[in-house]
Structure 1
Amino acid sequence: MRESPALSPRSRAWLAATTGLCLLPLLLQLPAMLALVFAGAALLTMGLAWRRTVPAPLRVLFLLAMLAAVYWQAGLRFGRDTGCALLASMLAIKSSELRTLRDGRSLLGFALFAPFSAFLLDQGPLTTVLALLAVLSAVLCMAQLADAESHTGAVTWREQLRVMRRITVIGLPLALAAFWLFPRLGSPLWGIPERTMSKPGLSDKMSPGEWIDLMADDSPALRAQFFGAVPPPEQRYWRGPVLWDFDGRNWTSPQWHEASPMPAVQSGTARWSYQIDYEATDDRRLVALDLPLQAPGGTRLTPDFELMSQLPLTGLTRWRLQSAPPQAFEATLAPMLRRAALRLPAGYNPRALALGQQWRQEAGRNDDAVIRRAMAWIHAEFSYTLTTPLLGHDSVDEFLFQYKSGFCEHFSSAFVVLMRAAGIPARVVTGYVGGVRNPIGDYYVVRRMDAHAWAEVWLEGRGWVRVDPTAAVAPERIYDTLENRLAQQDGAGAQLDARWAGNVGDWLRRGWNELVLSFNAERQQHLLRPLGIDRLEPSQLIALFVCAALLALGWMAWLLARGERERDPLLRAWRRLGQRYARHGLTREPHEPALDWAARVDRELADPALVVLSRRFAEARYAADVADSARRQLIKDLHQHRPNTGASP
């Protein structure tokens, strides 16, 4: 077997840039520290392998280091992101054995798995654009390697851009036909493994003081569009997990409540109809305005009126909902639920328990008085801040009597403990609150940083009633919020500019979600509704796809055949020269060699320059040792030469 040629510095640089571009969309979806480790390993490996192959023991050491980094982030759990991280780690050190053109092609083939794997973690426009750039760069790099092996000379940037444009024009029709017309399944035939390194999000557990990572994430959690009335700000509570059990430190959602019957709810007169686009969480929990009237298809309501999806939310999903604030929510509380809503762990927070019991003795049977007293105390003495130390064994006592400052987790947890100590059934509810209207598109964006925790107390005749103790903090004692931190970092003017740019960017992202990510089997069946065809059956979709695909393939075949003839810039320049002579009746016959044709033209027009050019062309075309500079000069001369007729071509 003939030995593969060694890589030139230019080819090696092409490969390094293309490998980095393939890695980029995948690294952006991994945890930041893990991505930095892989990026550093890729740069280090490429630097060490630039002159010579990295020794095998060092490659093994790199491999073990990459596996240790993945284990550091995910442990022994395997999921989509774990598999993607392993792929990124292998690709980061793949260049350690890069020496020949064959090695370069192997690296490119392996690198192309990375941008496609990134779609398992994110399908956003940024990932798509980066993946397309990576694929195009890989194709161009393969072409450059082929040119290097065949000694056809270096390709200019202009020529590379031309090739990129041709590749896009060739493949786009078939890609669009497959996207719009290839029949889609209503649900996948097989499951996709869940992520093991998920982003912070709502869960069935809350530990006061540990929500900082979630509240520092300003990425969208959902987008909501209202049809008709929009709820006022005080009613924009997006209900998520409901937490009953408290062990002194953690609040958790109980499993035992799943089997309880659905409680009776008497809804108020207000009705809100809306649609939410819910971002991927790899969980089954959804949120809805408090309280949803019914569960949409593919979901169910728990006895706590949590909305649960039947399938993991691995991608963007869209839900149409109706909600109404309740007038009476579970007005009759079962004895088992009452005991659960009053349960407190023994040996924790003795001062809070004593205070709650004292309030009960002083208020008698007046539950409202106990609630008002707690809210008044918060308003008079407590402050809101994100800078709160991690609490100890008696976390509620420390918050209530020592620090008297914190954020929503601290307030909701302490309030529910006080209520239970006073004999009032209470529980913690988590979710999101608020939402900012985007005037470009007229919809509301709820971000992960809007995560919130509040309380529900059970009152005779009314059932569960929402109480938000965090909202009782006096405005003058709100010292440190995420909004204030952003304003201090950016300044007021920069913040306004960033808000405007953010609205535009989010509107574009929503449009991408609308046109691409939410294009499912149901929307595909109604694709031709504007043309009067209400629904496409699967057989009709297949027929349309086959017709469109055949047209696209015919277009591809014609362009590829034409492009193969004109791929070499030297051959293309020679053909265009022949076209200029053909306009004067001196067409070169298909069977006529270049030198014979030039001699014939010289006899008719006395054009010896063409004879010289044809000899240079034959030498550059078929000789293997022609310098790149000579080829480029010949191409330039061919473009400039005109027939010796005295007339403009």
Structure 2
Amino acid sequence: MKSRPASLALDRQSRAWALAAAAAALLPLLLQLPATLALTTGTAAVLTAWIAWSRPVPALLRAVLAAAMLLAVFWVMGSRFGRDTGCGLLAVMLAIKPSETASLRDGRSLVGFALFAPFAAFLLDQGPATMALGLLAALCALLALRRMADLEAGLADIALPLRTRLWALLRLIAVGLPLGLCVFWLFPRLAEPLWGVPERAIARPGLSDRMEPGQWVDLMADDSPALRVQFFGAVPAPQERYWRGPVLLDFDGRAWTRPDWLQGLEVQPATRQATRWDYQIDLEPSDRRDVVALELPVGAPEDLRLAYDYGLQARRPIAALRRWRMQSAPASSFDATLPAVLRQRALALPRGFNPRTLALARQWRQEAGNDDAAIVSRATRWINAEFGYTLDTPLPGHNGVDEFLFQYKQGFCEHFSSAFVVLMRGAGIPARVVTGYVGGVRNRIGGYWVVRRMDAHAWAEVWLRGRGWVRVDPTAAVAPERIYDTLEDRLGAGGQDGGFGADFGSLREVGDWLRRGWNDLVLGFDANRQQQLFKPFGLDKLDPGRLGVIFAVLASAVLLGMAWLLARGEREADPLLRAWHQVGRRYARRGLGPEPHETAQRWAQRVARHDIANGPVLLTLSERFAHARYARGVADVAPLIRELRRHRPQALRRL
């Protein structure tokens, strides 16, 4: 039995292509990982490739390097295993994979393993930049595999221009592109996924069912979009653009939380104002179930649940872009009676916390009597007269509300809303904290509104007799001259009018408009839009069965076309034959192309009888071609292939 021959050793160019393909595949994944881990992994990848360029890294050193990289992943990600932890492990394994790449088989293994990295990046981000980098990585991988195939076939010495190789691969991709588009548009999609995407070990900054001191600093420093909104008709005024999220009712002296049992209650009846907002919301992934809506949503869209406090929740964690059409209308009043159990929870305060605040609240109650509205108004006037807004605040101690109200008198929405609700409860007024977003910036190019994570906000709601829950934003009561430190100031966006700031803002609008277009055409193409795909052709909403038939017919036609093109290409799989046919096509443009029945030498003789400039050269090439293709024992055809590809007929000189 013959032993299996050893794999060929990689030459320098093949190794360079393999490493380039691995680097291109690793890049989109690194851009989605935490900065510390991405920098560590990228540095390790460069050092490993440099050390292993001449010879494989010893096994002991590889083991030490692998252990160090695994420790780096769990040091950054923590012990909890999630989607980003798995992607981090894949990245570090790919970074040290070149340490054992020496043979042709190793090179192909490296390229094949590297292709998992762009797909892993799509688990963390599905934006156009990630897609473009993923396509670039796939193209580099194909070029690397093509180079290694030439090495195995003994054609590595043929110095084909990169443009020629790239053009050949693009033609191959073009053959399969129609089938890919057919699958994307027509393959029947499920309204509900068969499985969920695993949660992330490191959560994104975002709204949650908990608010505690210091938690919102990271969220409010993130200027990435949280949602995009398209209004149909009237647009609410800035003071009405409150995007309602989780409502927090319980307070333990430090953190506010949302009770789970509240979500099961029926929605509290409310009398609506005549104003109604009609809009579409595109919500970015948050890996949470909470969905924000303009106050107050009229019913729950599909796949959402409307809670008693008018908070919206999805059935599954939002791991990808989601879109809903909603309507909202402000409430003029709620049901006149607040259930006893809710009143008790909306007045509850932990024992042993904030005695000065409670004493002040009791004093205000004695002075105001039964006038709850007077107490609310007194609190907002106090804030306007003495308090300032800043992000530079120390972490609170045991009596955090007392410290804020009587010592610092400076903070941001987290401090104002929490202290205000505690003060109201101490005065016997039911109150709760509402979190969400406020405001939004209009994109002038697309005509839609962008709400960023830095627009996160917390306000209060108090229960007043005859009106029910009333929104009070204590942060908005701060006098403008006492706004000392804002996010715009820290990001360098405050006060810029014209110049580089204006140019950057316009570029940012263009970039966000392109991202929204990507969301609309690609990420937002779901089962509902697929079923309406043929509506312009007179076909109403298609059921999955009819859509499956259309897909089968069109996919079969595309496959037949692909089979014909591939079979045509297979007939010219020999690079020498392809080069010779290219020469024939060049002469055909001058009216001297070969006839189907002519042999290579007879065609060259005919050209020589009519063209004294090119005939002798073509005769020589035809003899060498016939000898190389049909004679046995020809060792090297690479020089002939190069000459055929370089040969161009000169100006025709007829006899």
- TM class, shorter-chain normalised? over 0.9
CA distance in 1, matches of 2:171, 2:364: 78
Distance 1:210 1:584 in 2: 77
Q: Deviations over 1:434-486 (max 9, x none)?
A: 11111222211111111000011111111111100100111111122122233
Counterpart Cα distance in 2 of 1:83 and 1:355: 53
2:545 corresponding residue in structure 1:
539
**Cα shift readout 1:486-507 (whole Å, capped 9, x = no counterpart):** 3369954222112211222212
CA contact (8 A) 1:293 1:322 kept: yes
**3-state SS, counterpart of residue 268 of structure 2:** coil
| Between 363-372 and 104-113, the greater mean CA deviation after superposition | 363-372
Shift of residue 217, structure 1, vs aligned partner: 1.2
The reply on whether 1:613 has 2:621 as its aligned counterpart is yes
Match of 1:16 among 14, 19, 33: 19
Q: Which residue matches 2:526?
A: 520
Instruction: Please give the root-mean-square deviation of Cα atoms over the aligned residues, in Å.
Output: 2.6
| Shift in CA distance, 418/509, structure 1 to aligned 2, threshold 3 Å | same
Deviation at 1:202, TM superposition (A): 0.4
Contact 1:199–1:281 at 8 Å: present in 2 too?
A: yes
Q: Which residue of 1 aligns with 2:594?
A: 587
| Cα drift, residue 208 of structure 1 | 2.6
Distance in structure 1 (CA, Å) of the matches to 2:518 and 2:533: 17
Percentage of matched positions with identical amino acids: 60
In structure 1, the partner of 2:330 is 325
Instruction: Tell me the distance in 2 between the aligned counterparts of 1:620 and 1:644.
Output: 29
What letter matches 2:540 in structure 1?
A: D
Question: What is residue 47 of structure 2 aligned with on the other side?
Answer: 44
Q: Mind listing any 5+ residue stretches in structure 2 that lack a counterpart?
A: none
Distance 2:591 2:283 in 1: 67
CA contact (8 A) 2:579 2:644 kept: no
Alignment of 1:337-416 (within 5 A): 337-416=342-421
User: Which of the numbers 621, 635, 640 marks the counterpart of 2:645?
Assistant: 635
Structure 1 distance, partners of 2:585, 2:598, is 16
Greater mean deviation of Cα atoms: 313-322 or 190-199 = 190-199
Aligned residue type for 1:497: D
Q: 1 CA distance for matches of 2:611 and 2:445?
A: 67
Q: Which residue of 2 aligns with 1:424?
A: 429
Q: Which residue of 1 aligns with 2:176?
A: 171
Name the structure 2 match of 1:451: 456
Distance 1:48 1:496, change over 3 A: same
The answer on whether the counterparts of 1:570 and 1:635 sit within 8 Å (CA) in structure 2 is: no
CA contact (8 A) 1:428 1:455 kept: yes
Contact 2:443 2:450 in 1 (8 A): yes
Aligned pairs for 1:56-135 (under 5 A) are 56-135=59-138
| Paired residues of 1:569 and 1:635 also in contact (CA < 8 A) | no
Q: Which residue of 1 aligns with 2:251?
A: 246
In 2, Cα distance between the equivalents of 1:584 and 1:28?
55
Contact 1:455–1:468 under 8 Å retained in 2: yes
Q: CA deviation at 1:308?
A: 0.7
Residues 301-333 of structure 1, C-alpha deviations (whole Å, 9 max, x = no match)? 111111011122111111111111111234312
- Stretch moving more, 408-417 or 537-546: 537-546
Deviation readout 1:114-152 (Å, 9 max, x if unpaired): 112222222221121111111122111110111122232
How many pairs align?
Answer: 643
Contact 2:322–2:524 (Cα < 8 Å) also in 1: yes
TM-score (norm 1): 0.93
The 8 Å contact of residues 581 and 643 in structure 1, kept in 2 or not, is answered as no
Is 1:434 paired with 2:448? no
Find the partner of 1:478 among 471, 483, 491: 483
Query: What residue number does 1:502 align with?
Result: 508
Letter in 2 for 1:610: L
CA contact (8 A) 2:580 2:644 kept: no
Amino acid at match of 2:166: L
Letter in 2 for 1:50: W
| Residue 296 of structure 2 corresponds to residue 287 of structure 1 | no
Partner in structure 2 of residue 221 of structure 1: 226
Change in CA separation of 1:255 and 1:563 when aligned onto 2, cut-off 3 Å: same
**Aligned residue in 1 for 2:566:** 560
| Cα distance in structure 2, aligned partners of 1:140 and 1:162 | 11
SS in structure 2 at match of 1:208: coil
Q: Could you tell me how far apart the structure 2 residues matched to 1:460 and 1:587 are?
A: 97
TM-superposed CA distance for 1:423, in Å, is: 1.6
